[in-house]
């Protein structure tokens, strides 16, 4: 007797018009994809994250919370019955490969295509015994993309250092970095996508400011090479490395490079691969990750975002902290044309990552903050990403704060959690392709927050404590008056979409605000 089949929801793209896609003609086209499983003890796992800060090993995570091995074996057999290859099991993930025709037959879905892009036109059908135990499938489409979150100044009159942008010491002084901490013994992983760097660029940057060159390792997740920073978009990897290294100079830096998506590669799958690779990396053992990419959450299948969050949740269990840029399109949130409504960025919407928003920062001649406001659109050059997720529910750590839910939307995870200078008009000095330039965006704020967390972890280790790991609940449980600059002026309206206002306490533009690092280190240690 054949098992009853049911729809597995969350695999369609809300922003795409199905009528624009015609049925695929070349079904032999091969692609990789993944089946992502839930924990077999979801309730216990959530309780542990909420109330138990002890760190597990990767083996313990799988032993205590991994999917049922018998279920995995049964799923393997079912998924491969029409020729799909199971490449390997990797914890909560089965990595798969097959032709679009084989996938159509396996999941009983039609694929549509447009301009070389493909996606399912209907939700997959899976056995009734499997449906409750999977997050879903990732890689069934190659339409969704993530974009780097950096921008250039258009009004340079407020740039520091006579138009050169902020230098490392400016940021360390403004945000009160403790001089006694440098990130020694910690490792920061930077997730990059077809985005290389030139070692000479980053060394020149550090040498210019008298910073001992940090140790930088390059790791290819899927065979994507380091192109040595020859393309314009390689600025992202370069600024991530330069500023993370400047703020925590004795931390190790690991660049995890994955494919940015092509005609036969799903970017959504590349992100999952990069996250899972970093999670599994026992050679470099990253303690902190930073992601400077994103797009509005309606640009991705819900199952994809939930799969990313599943890896982030597992990372929290082993003591890893993940930061992600909240986006530079304000409350509009989308890269390019789209519906003029509020969109929260993904993966910044993940409740198990720390989302980093942006501010506009002005200093006096002594390096002290004169004014810091939410990054507000005044010249059509971006605003701090933020808002209320329509995908993820309110996490426990946000239940005690008033979330600003607009009419027509439902309550959900609030974004961002924290902030840091990001307005390109008060941007940062970066050395790229042999030249100095100035860059802003939440993509700079995220790696700096990763570096701050290296200092926090260094202090914790010196005190004989474990890594801070799942940082979100702790950020919401400390005294914010002594640890953050509360940002109360500004908004993130952008591109015709009315956004949110900065308010006392948490807000959907800057979260809790920008850090007073020396106090934050003490409070979180």
Q: How far apart, in whole angstroms, are the C-alpha atoms of residue 219 and residue 286? A: 12
Q: How far apart, in whole angstroms, are the C-alpha atoms of residue 108 and residue 21? A: 18
Please answer whether residues 53 and 469 qualify as being in contact, where contact means their C-beta atoms are separated by less than 8 angstroms.
yes
Is 443 a catalytic site residue? Answer: yes
Q: How far apart, in whole angstroms, are the C-alpha atoms of residue 227 and residue 18? A: 36
Is 240 a catalytic site residue? Answer: yes
- C-alpha gyration radius of the chain: 22
Q: How far apart, in whole angstroms, are the C-alpha atoms of residue 195 and residue 200? A: 16
Give the closest residue to 259 by CA, choosing from 303, 218, 220: 220
How much of the chain is helix, strand and coil, in % rounded to 5? 30, 25, 45
What phi and psi, each to the nearest 5 degrees, are found at residue 181? -115, 145
Please answer whether residues 257 and 195 qualify as being in contact, where contact means their C-beta atoms are separated by less than 8 angstroms.
yes
**Structure tokens, 3:** 């098992």
The structure tokens 């703020």 sit at 247
Q: Write down the catalytic residue from 141, 170, 234, 240.
A: 240
**Structure tokens, 391:** 């995908």
Q: How far apart, in whole angstroms, are the C-alpha atoms of residue 476 and residue 121? A: 41
Q: At 37, is the secondary structure helix, strand, or coil?
A: strand
Q: Write down the catalytic residue from 104, 236, 242, 257.
A: 236
Q: How far apart, in whole angstroms, are the C-alpha atoms of residue 236 and residue 332? A: 22
Please answer whether residues 159 and 361 qualify as being in contact, where contact means their C-beta atoms are separated by less than 8 angstroms.
no
Q: Write down the catalytic residue from 39, 443, 446, 514.
A: 443
User: Measured between alpha carbons, how far is residue 209 from residues 166, 231, 240, 407 in Å?
Assistant: 12, 25, 16, 49
Q: Please report the DSSP string for 154-166 in residue order.
A: S-GGG-HHHHT-B
- Enumerate residues 6+ apart whose C-beta is below 8 A from 229: 196, 197, 198, 201, 237, 238, 432, 433
- Virtual torsion, Cα 307, 312, 316, 318, nearest 10 deg: 80
Helix 235-247 to helix 199-208 angle (10° resolution) is 40
**Structure tokens, 207:** 């040498």
Is 292 a catalytic site residue? Answer: no
What phi and psi, each to the nearest 5 degrees, are found at residue 444? -85, -40
Distance of CA 325 to the CA centre of its chain: 6
Q: What is the β-pairing status of strands 187-193 and 252-258? A: parallel
Please answer whether residues 174 and 368 qualify as being in contact, where contact means their C-beta atoms are separated by less than 8 angstroms.
yes
Which residues are marked as active site? Answer: 236, 240, 443
């Amino acid at each position: 007797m054949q098992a009853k089949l049911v729809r597995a929801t969350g695999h369609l793209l809300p922003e795409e018009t199905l009528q624009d896609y015609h049925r695929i003609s070349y079904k032999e086209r091969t692609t990789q994809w993944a089946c992502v499983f839930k924990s077999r003890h979801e309730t216990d796992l959530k309780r542990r994250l909420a109330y138990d800060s002890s760190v597990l090993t990767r083996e313990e995570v799988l032993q205590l919370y991994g999917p049922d091995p018998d279920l995995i074996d049964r799923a393997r057999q079912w998924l491969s019955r029409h020729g799909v290859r199971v490449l390997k099991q990797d914890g909560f993930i089965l990595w798969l490969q097959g032709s679009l025709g084989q996938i159509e037959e396996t999941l009983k879905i039609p694929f549509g295509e447009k301009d070389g892009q493909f996606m399912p036109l209907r939700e997959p059908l899976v056995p009734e015994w499997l449906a409750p135990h999977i997050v879903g499938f990732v890689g069934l489409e190659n339409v969704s993309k993530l974009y780097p979150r950096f921008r250039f100044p258009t009004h340079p009159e407020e740039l520091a250092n006579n138009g050169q942008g902020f230098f490392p010491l400016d940021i360390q002084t403004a945000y009160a970095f403790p001089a006694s901490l440098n990130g020694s013994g910690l490792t920061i992983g930077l997730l990059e996508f077809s985005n290389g760097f030139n070692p000479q660029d980053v060394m020149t940057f550090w040498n210019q400011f008298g910073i001992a060159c940090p140790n930088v390792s390059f790791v290819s997740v899927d065979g994507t090479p380091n192109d040595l920073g020859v393309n314009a978009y390689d600025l992202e990897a370069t600024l991530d490395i330069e500023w993370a290294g400047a703020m925590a100079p004795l931390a190790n830096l690991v660049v995890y490079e994955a494919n940015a998506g092509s005609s036969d590669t799903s970017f959504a799958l590349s992100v999952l691969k990069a996250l899972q690779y970093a999670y599994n990396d026992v050679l470099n053992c990253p303690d902190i990750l930073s992601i400077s990419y994103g797009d509005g959450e309606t640009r991705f299948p819900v199952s994809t975002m939930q799969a990313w969050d599943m890896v982030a949740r597992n990372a929290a269990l082993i003591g890893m902290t993940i930061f992600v840029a909240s986006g530079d399109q304000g409350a509009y949130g989308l890269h390019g044309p789209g519906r003029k409504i509020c969109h929260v960025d993904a993966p910044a919407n993940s409740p198990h990552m720390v989302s980093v928003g942006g501010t506009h920062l002005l200093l006096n001649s002594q390096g002290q903050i004169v004014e810091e406001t939410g990054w507000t659109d005044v010249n059509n050059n971006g605003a701090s990403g933020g808002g209320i997720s329509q995908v993820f529910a309110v996490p426990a750590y946000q239940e005690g704060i008033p979330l600003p839910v607009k009419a027509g939307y439902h309550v959900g995870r609030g974004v961002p959690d924290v902030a840091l200078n990001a307005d390109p008009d008060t941007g940062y000095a970066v050395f790229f392709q042999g030249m100095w330039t100035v860059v802003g965006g939440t993509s700079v704020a995220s790696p700096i927050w990763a570096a701050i967390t290296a200092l926090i972890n260094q202090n914790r280790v010196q005190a004989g404590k474990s890594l801070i790991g799942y940082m979100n609940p702790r950020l919401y449980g400390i005294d914010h008056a002594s640890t953050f600059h509360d940002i109360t002026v500004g908004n993130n309206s952008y591109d015709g979409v009315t956004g949110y206002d900065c308010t006392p306490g948490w807000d959907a533009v800057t979260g809790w605000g920008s850090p007073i690092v020396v106090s934050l280190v003490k409070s979180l240690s």
